[in-house]
Every structure is written in C-alpha cells, then in structure tokens.
C-alpha cells in the first residue's frame, strides 16, 4: 500500500468528538478572565492533535469549510504561524463578564504561549493586526469639497487614508455568553446545538468544554490615529459601529443608507485623528440584519411589489411578513471589541440604532454625543428606510414624520 492510499484510509476513519475517550489529559485548562495569560491558558481549536483540543469547533469561523476543501485537495499548509500584536493588555481583559465573544490573548499567542508552542501545542492566533491605506471615492470627494484636507500622515497627499486594521475571529466563552443573554448555560448550549443542525455535539455532551469557536463571520476594526489612544478617555474618540451590507457597502446599492453612513463614519474618524483624537470603525458580519442576503432580497421584492409601492409606512411590516421578525440582530456582544481596546468613553458615536447605543452604554462605556447621517448623504430611494427608522424611534436630531406623512414617502418601483 502506498503512502497516498494510507493517508486516504486514515482520513476516512471518523472519530466522534463527543465520545468520552476524547477527554485527554494533554488538554490545557482555560480559566477565562485570569490576569496571567499562563493561568488563563491558550484556546486550542486545531484538529492536527486531537488530544490538545480544549474548545468546541475549529478556527477560521465561516471559512472552515473552505479550509476543509483545500485540505481535501492537499493544498493547505498545516505548520502555519502568525505574528504577535502589540495591543493591550487592558483591565477589561481580566473581567470574565466584559469580554465573552473574543479572546483578548488571541493576538499574543507567540509571545505569551511560547512555552506551549515549543512543546508542540498547535495554538493559532484569533486576532491579527496590520497597516493599510484606504482608497475611498467618497473621501476623495470630501477632499475636493473642502471637508477634508490631506495632512501627509492620516490623509496622504493623494487622498489615501492610513489606518491600522485588526481582524477578530469569534471565540465564545459560553458561561459568559449565557449570562450576557440572561439564560442558563445549559439552555444556550441546547439551542445552539439544535439550531446548527447538531453540528457540534460537544455542546450537549461535553459540559467541561466552555469555549466555542462558532462558524460565523469575523469582525474587523479600522483605527485612525494611534490605537493606544483608544483607551485614553481624555482623547477625543469618534466611533462608527457598522453591520455588514454587501449590496450597499461594496456595490453602492441606493435602497439603504449603509455605505453613506459607513463612509461618513470613516470621514469623521479621519478628521478626528487629524485634530489630535482617534477614530475607530468596527465592521460586523451581520448581513441583512443577521437574516442573510437571500432573505433581504426577498424583503426588497416584497416592498417594491406591494400594493401602493415601497412606502416608509410599511417598511418594517414587509420585513416581518417575509422573515418572521423585523431584525434578527442582537447587540449584546458587540461592545466586546470596544473593550478589547480598553475604550472607556466615546465622544462621538455614529449610530442611530438605540440597540447599539444601549448595548455600549450598558457595558460601561460612556457616550457623550450621538451623530446621525447628514440628510444630504441619504440616497433618494433610501428615504423610505430612513423615515421609517426615525418614526420607529431611531435616534435623530431632525424631524420625525407622522404615520400619515410616512405613506407619502415612496421608493422607486421595482422596474424603474
């Protein structure tokens, strides 16, 4: 039998992770919230050495399946390592209830877990930091209109913006998640198991494993100015917390205000950094109010095809009719990324969402001002969304239309 055939046979031998014989003495304990990272212990979700695993699921989030396909083709290197970050630590890292959806030590594995790595433990980073330049047409337009000016540091002479960007893979500490949501840990584990089609049997068979690496999208933070200034409440901080909208953010669809609000948040963050402050834009993968694009496009069709056309008066009703709920997002976990940077005060929060605002303030971060999107940046077809949201109680400093007036706020017809 040749080597290739032996590997094929071994790959087809399935070991169920829920079996009791998968509890190994080589698995390192995780003491969530411990101040000493050596006491806290590393999160090990790799499958190369099963006896070392101490987490449910695997790294890479929603990209796990693509990785599996690459491994199946024999194209994926398994001895891969990444660099250590230089952010933190902050006091918030040591509160087991403050950070429950990301691993604050996930960007420091080579430094704080060097001994474990040298012993052969396969510990992967879940946070990575790099530098970049952003090339955004709306920023070039803001420069042309005089709202922004290149300074050579934050905004380069050609209009590019220099940023630090940080990627986070989700790492869920299940007891903390359950407490944050106000339910029992056992109930949370049972619901997660059922609603993922039994994808992770350890949720109900391995109560000793307290960390889940969920198969969801990652989160990215873009910092304008010095990232270390984010933790200084004396320095002016501009913040946009943005939930993904591929159609608008990437392709410029005009039915919503997502891209204009995002680019306005970037513009304001860059200007704040130029003035000696610091800005941050955090991008969360919660496409279509966490309902996904298929559901979102079905809602768009329902809005455009309904009798009387697309109207602000029926904006939320159409979503609920199609999806069964107006919004599947929850923001209770969102502030964790802000606490990762040690943020204590946000001077200017770019968000009209009361759910986001309440989650941030409820987590102990002070917000001094809220900023809604300027009227001149709202696309004509997005007026339906905007007026419906304001009438529903979203934050605004402007006029709120009556129910009667909402009927007259109309969007384009489907065929136009």
User: Catalytic site residues?
Assistant: 327, 329
Exposure string for 356-378, b = 16+ CB within 10 A, e = fewer: bbebbeebebebeebbbbeeeeb
**Paired residues of 238 in beta bridges:** 279, 348
Phi-psi region of 413 (alpha: psi -120 to 50; beta: other; left: phi over 0): beta
Distance CA 240, CA 280 (A): 7
Task: Indicate the burial class of 349 (C-beta count within 10 angstroms; 0-12, 13-18, 19 or more).
Answer: buried
DSSP per-residue string spanning 347-375: SEE----HHHHHHHHHTT-EE--B-PPPG
Residues 6+ apart with CB under 8 A from 254: 248, 379, 380, 381, 382
> Which H/E stretch holds residue 127?
strand 127-134
Task: Indicate the burial class of 2 (C-beta count within 10 angstroms; 0-12, 13-18, 19 or more).
Answer: exposed
Please give the torsion angle defined by the CA atoms of residues 186, 187, 188 and 189, in that order, rounded to the nearest 10 degrees. 50
């Amino acid at each position: 039998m040749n080597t290739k055939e032996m590997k094929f046979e071994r790959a087809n031998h399935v070991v169920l992770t829920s079996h009791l014989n998968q509890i190994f003495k080589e698995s390192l304990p995780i003491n969530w919230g411990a101040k000493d990272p050596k006491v806290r212990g590393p999160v090990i979700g790799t499958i190369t050495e099963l006896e070392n695993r101490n987490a449910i699921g695997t790294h890479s989030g929603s990209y796990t399946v693509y990785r599996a396909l690459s491994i199946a083709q024999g194209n994926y290197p398994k001895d891969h390592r990444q660099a250590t970050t230089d952010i933190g630590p902050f006091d918030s890292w040591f509160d087991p209830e403050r950070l429950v959806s990301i691993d604050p030590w996930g960007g420091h594995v080579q430094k704080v877990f060097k001994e474990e790595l040298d012993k052969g433990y396969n510990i992967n980073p879940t946070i990575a930091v790099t530098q970049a330049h952003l090339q955004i047409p709306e920023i070039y337009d803001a420069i042309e209109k005089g709202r922004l000016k290149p300074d050579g540091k934050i905004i380069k002479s050609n209009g590019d913006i220099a940023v630090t960007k940080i990627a986070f893979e989700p790492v869920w500490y299940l007891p903390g998640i359950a407490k944050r949501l106000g339910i029992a840990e056992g109930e949370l584990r049972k619901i997660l198991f059922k609603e993922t089609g039994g994808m992770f049997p350890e949720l109900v068979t391995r109560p000793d494993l307290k960390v889940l690496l969920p198969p969801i999208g990652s989160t990215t933070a873009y910092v304008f100015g010095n990232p270390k200034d984010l933790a200084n409440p004396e320095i002016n901080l501009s913040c946009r917390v943005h939930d993904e909208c591929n159609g608008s953010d990437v392709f410029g669809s005009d039915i919503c205000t997502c891209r204009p609000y995002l680019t306005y948040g970037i513009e304001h963050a860059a200007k704040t950094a130029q003035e000696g402050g610091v800005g941050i834009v955090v991008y969360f993968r919660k496409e279509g109010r966490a309902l996904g694009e298929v559901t979102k496009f079905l809602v768009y069709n329902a809005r455009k095809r309904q009798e009387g056309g697309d109207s602000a008066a029926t904006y939320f009703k159409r979503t609920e009719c199609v999806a069964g709920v107006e919004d599947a997002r929850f923001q209770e976990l969102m502030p964790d990324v802000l606490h990762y940077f040690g943020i204590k005060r946000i001077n200017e929060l770019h968000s009209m969402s009361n759910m986001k605002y309440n989650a941030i303030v409820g987590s102990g971060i002070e917000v001094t001002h809220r900023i809604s999107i300027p009227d001149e940046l709202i696309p004509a077809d997005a007026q339906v969304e905007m007026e419906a949201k304001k009438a529903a109680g979203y934050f605004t400093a402007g006029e709120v239309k009556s129910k009667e007036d909402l009927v007259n706020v109309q969007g384009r017809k489907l065929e136009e």
